[in-house]
Structure 1
């Protein structure tokens, strides 16, 4: 089991490598750079006394959460939720902010609820035991998402040619994504004793999340 001493060191190293992978506009690298900031922030908070109510379980969650993204890169076939980003990662008509949000969409709405269930199974916690620290992690995600929008999204308005992009990005909300992740975790929690229903629900979740990511990655130039 992961410990709180330095649980995220391997994931941080892997994300640094991905973030530095050329070309700079590669969609996976764009998301990895943003996710690296998230993971480093969570790692710092794990070292802060009393920030998390249950730092041991949160450390396990953070590792399992990161592993789902890293494993998706080598999976054959890739999970449906990650296929749009992997297939379109070098498309010249897709902006960096689209890559970043498509990655967040796949990671939060699909990977996070499954990582929560995996954490409960690994640590013996009930889902409700994870609620408080889940929302603390969400605060970190929200801060990074806001900064990413400021750094990567153009400030178009009115007759600005980038207005279609702003309209597209306005359709995705990290608050709704986090709420959906928690709701999905609850549904999966209730199905944990029914393997076939659990697997079917998880597969459907991956498909629907992938569809949203594909829409977010609509080429606009």
Structure 2
């Protein structure tokens, strides 16, 4: 299913939700992503949240399409996504770990690529007026989603009868969505400068995918 609007993005996510079981790691991440996408759609419909609605709408579609590509890749997902799909059915991994591992892969790896591709399509660059401002506006929506899943995780900790969740709690508390998006912006600026040097661009992108995947693998440390 090819998507070209934010409404179609949400519909594709609903389709993924319907075809994956609830404990599945891809289902968990997709559920969080769907909630955020709906909020972005509402802000775009209002016409009073972003400075450039057309750019942000297109970027939302391009960004989500990278998640759909990873999901549709079957047993050969991109390197940044490999840990989530390899461990999506593993017992002993909490829902918040799947959610954060997916956010880690999507934000730190896919987001810079999505912004670059949108800039090229719209004749803009990372320093264009309003682009970073709109980029940062999404942080508030993502922070709310992250806060919600963290509160859910605290409930799971309170229900635990021993302290075997402590290492996972430390990992989860160490990951920050704000820091992830700040890092993504640095990667974006770096890739933008390298885009005319294809060999270096590819080498940096490959290294980024590997590093991000390694971070996701750590976030998916089993509690068993």
In the comparison of the two structures, how many residue pairs are matched?
216
| Corresponding residue number in structure 2 for 1:118 | 117
Q: TM-score, normalised by structure 1?
A: 0.92
Quote the offset at 1:70 in angstroms.
0.5
The answer to whether structure 1 residue 14 and structure 2 residue 7 are counterparts is no
Quote the offset at 1:24 in angstroms.
1.2
Q: Which runs of 5+ in 1 are unaligned?
A: 1-5
The answer to whether structure 1 residue 106 and structure 2 residue 120 are counterparts is no
Quote the offset at 1:126 in angstroms.
1.3
| Corresponding residue number in structure 2 for 1:28 | 26
The answer to whether structure 1 residue 200 and structure 2 residue 199 are counterparts is no
Q: TM-score, normalised by structure 2?
A: 0.91
| Corresponding residue number in structure 2 for 1:174 | 177
User: Structure 1 CA distance, aligned partners of 2:161 and 2:18?
Assistant: 36
Quote the offset at 1:104 in angstroms.
0.3
User: Structure 2 CA distance, aligned partners of 1:192 and 1:158?
Assistant: 52
| Corresponding residue number in structure 1 for 2:87 | 88
Q: Which runs of 5+ in 2 are unaligned?
A: none
Quote the offset at 1:14 in angstroms.
1.1
Quote the offset at 1:158 in angstroms.
11
* Deviation per residue, 1:75-105 (Å, 9 max, x gap): 3631101000001100011111100000000
Quote the offset at 1:125 in angstroms.
1.1
Out of 80-89 and 136-145, give the one that drifted further.
Answer: 136-145
- Equivalent of residue 42 in structure 1, options 40, 43, 67: 40
* Structure 2 counterparts to residues 45-56 of structure 1, below 5 A: 45-56=43-54
| Corresponding residue number in structure 2 for 1:3 | none
- Equivalent of residue 72 in structure 1, options 70, 73, 95: 70
Pick closer, same or farther for the CA change 1:158–1:92 going to 2, 3 Å.
closer
Let me know the Cα RMSD of the aligned residues. 1.8
